Amino acid sequence: MKIIIKTKDLEPSEALNKFIEEKFFTLKKYVSIFKKENELGKTLAEIFVEVEKETKHHRKGDIFLVKAQMSMPGRSILAEEKGDNIFSVVVAAKEELKLEIEKYKLKKIDKARRGQRNSKKEIII
């Protein structure tokens, strides 16, 4: 799994990059069916994380924005979170992305099961 980090209006620090990679790398177990590598060695699941400071002025309201987009074969999932603490916003974006991945996988599994149920009904009839 490949994680690409981009910052906007914010100086990238080693600690922030390490924290983001650590949190989003835990999603690897949820995308195990997509993590297979092709013959060129490229991973099929990629996460683009954009960390942005929305305002340069006084600290009022939500000032940090984290957008996480995961590209998988056949689907792209987007999670967006705002908040005043950058680390809690990163965690919230990761959780939202995890929920979207679980929905997608469940939908894919249910579609296969539906097909199996229909074929079973045809055999019985």
20-41 pLDDT, tens digit per residue, is 999 998 888 877 654 454 444 4
The dihedral through the CA atoms of 24, 29, 33, 36 has a sign that is: positive
Using the 8-state DSSP alphabet, how is residue 56 labeled? S
Query: pLDDT tier at 116 (50, 70, 90 boundaries)?
Result: confident
Query: pLDDT tier at 15 (50, 70, 90 boundaries)?
Result: very high
What's the whole-number average pLDDT of the chain? 81
As a whole number, mean pLDDT of residues 11-28 equals 90
Model confidence, pTM: 0.75
Give the residue, 110 or 88, on which the prediction is more confident.
Answer: 88
Considering only 19-23, 25-29, 67-71, 76-80, which range has the smallest mean pLDDT?
25-29
CATH ID of 2-124, from 3.40.1160.10, 3.30.465.10, 3.90.79.10, 3.30.160.100: 3.30.160.100
Domain boundaries, the chain: 2-124
Residue 5 pairs in a beta bridge with: 49
Rg of the chain, C-alpha, whole Å: 19
